């Protein structure tokens, strides 16, 4: 259980899933340089994974992949300000006691997957959103050969690449998706 301030001297205890939902409710309306909010992006990314028949672990990693964006206080357009918040590390670190590596590693590595895909296929970079192209430069640009070969040995390599592809897709203003609450059972299934 996690304590959260309610009032002046009052706190309430939140279960892990309720804590995650609370972060989404409190900060999910933020934008990060895209035409959708954090909440919309997370739900769209998970929805695409679901539509393509991905396993539950990838769907959940998609839902939570940008959790770290909601947990920093650096503003909404940090890439335009030349800042890399390392949101992938923040998110994976704060979720590490809640979920197994099958969920955490694609969250931790979805930025690396973007860098890898830009190395593997330069045309991929041309298809990135403006915000993703800008953040790519702050995140180290395309991988070099050594980095790419090492990344390919990651035991969760395929999941990382899949989460990245759904991340790129989940930027459609007005797209209809399931509500956040519909993912409660899925989160509870993977809780440690």
pLDDT at 69: 85
Element housing 91 (H / E): helix 87-95
Is 62 in contact with 56 (CB distance < 8 Å)? no
Domain residue ranges of the chain, discontinuous segments joined by +: 2-190
Is 139 in contact with 2 (CB distance < 8 Å)? no
- The yes-or-no verdict on residue 35 having pLDDT over 80 is yes
pLDDT at 95: 97
Is 103 in contact with 128 (CB distance < 8 Å)? no
Give the whole-angstrom CA distance, residue 19 versus residue 13: 9
Is 27 in contact with 38 (CB distance < 8 Å)? yes
Q: For the domain 2-190, what is the CATH code? A: 1.10.3210.10
Give the whole-angstrom CA distance, residue 60 versus residue 162: 12
Enter the pTM of the model.
Answer: 0.89
pLDDT tens per residue across span 44-80: 999 999 999 999 999 999 999 999 988 876 555 655 5
Region label for 176, one of left (φ > 0), alpha (ψ between -120 and 50) or beta (otherwise): beta
Residue 2 pLDDT grade (very low, low, confident, very high; cuts 50, 70, 90): very low
Main-chain phi, psi angles of 19, to 5 degrees? -65, -45
Is 66 in contact with 91 (CB distance < 8 Å)? yes
- The yes-or-no verdict on residue 82 having pLDDT over 60 is no
């Amino acid at each position: 259980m996690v304590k959260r301030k309610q009032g002046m001297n009052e706190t309430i205890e939140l279960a892990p899933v309720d804590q995650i939902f609370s972060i989404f409710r409190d900060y999910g309306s933020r934008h990060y340089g895209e035409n959708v909010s954090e909440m919309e992006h997370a739900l769209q990314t998970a929805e695409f994974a679901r539509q393509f028949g991905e396993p539950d672990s990838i769907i959940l990693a998609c839902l939570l992949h940008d959790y770290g964006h909601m947990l920093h206080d650096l503003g909404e357009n940090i890439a335009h300000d030349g800042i890399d918040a390392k949101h992938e590390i923040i998110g994976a670190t704060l979720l590490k006691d809640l979920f197994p590596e099958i969920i955490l590693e694609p969250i931790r590595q979805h930025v690396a997957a973007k860098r890898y895909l830009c190395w593997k296929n330069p045309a991929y970079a041309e298809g990135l959103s403006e915000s993703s192209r800008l953040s790519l430069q702050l995140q180290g640009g395309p991988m070099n050969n050594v980095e790419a070969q090492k990344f390919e040995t990651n035991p969760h390599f395929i999941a990382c690449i899949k989460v990245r592809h759904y991340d790129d897709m989940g930027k459609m203003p007005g797209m209809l998706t399931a509500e956040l609450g519909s993912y409660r059972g899925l989160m509870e299934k993977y809780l440690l």
